[in-house]
Amino acid sequence: MLSLFIWMGYGKRVCQSQDLIAFQPIWRFLPKSGCAVAKECRMFDRILNSIQEKIRTRQYIMTYHARREMNYDDLTIYDVERIILTGEILERQKDKTTSEWKYRVVGKTVEGGKVEVIAKISPTGKLVVITVYAL
């Protein structure tokens, strides 16, 4: 996993004399791979928190395709919930037909297998799990 440090400017004053005023530099550690700028990571964190809250409050639906793919890969609803609750967003994609954003969330199942979930937030505010597949 790639880790990034992004320069955020100067913070509190560290040293002050007649000739020198020094400030402590601020670097923001970005642990997620694929984050080029801090704003993008904060946005994905906000979306991920929103998606996780919808799982916790049972405000989600599974498409028929997602259920079928879960059966093919021997996954349960508990696996999908765990993937979203402990996973991370890899990227967001724009749906070509509806122009809605969908998110690729990768995580681990209850048994430790790596799985990816594609999900979106519907216009009604519910989370829609579009598909699920083992990696």
Give 99-126 pLDDT, tens digit per residue.
899 999 999 998 989 999 999 999 999 9
Residue 35 has pLDDT above 80, yes or no: no
Q: Give the residue among 64, 46, 69, 55 at the shortest CA–CA distance from 126.
A: 55
Q: What tokens does 61 get?
A: 């639906």
Task: Please report where in the chains the tokens 């991920």 appear, as a residue.
Answer: 48
pLDDT in tens, 68-80: 999 999 999 999 9
Single out the residue of 45, 58, 122, 128 nearest to residue 87, CA to CA.
45
First vs last Cα of the chain: how many Å apart?
16
Q: Record the pTM.
A: 0.68
Q: Which pLDDT does position 4 carry in this prediction?
A: 44
The answer on pLDDT for 37 being more than 50 is no
With CA atoms as reference, report the closest residue to 31 among 88, 103, 93. Answer: 88
What are the structural domains, with CATH classification, of the chain?
A: 1-31 (no CATH), 35-134 (3.30.2310.40)
Q: For residues 95 and 18, what is the distance between their CA atoms, to the nearest angstrom?
A: 59
Tens digit of pLDDT for each residue in 80-104? 999 999 999 999 999 888 889 999 9
- List all residues 6 or more positions away from 124 whose beta carbon is below 8 Å from its beta carbon: none
**What ranges make up the beta strands (E) of the chain?**
4-16, 21-30, 60-62, 88-94, 101-108, 114-121, 127-134
Indicate the pLDDT class of residue 64, thresholds 50, 70 and 90.
very high
41: pLDDT confidence band, cut at 50, 70 and 90?
Answer: low
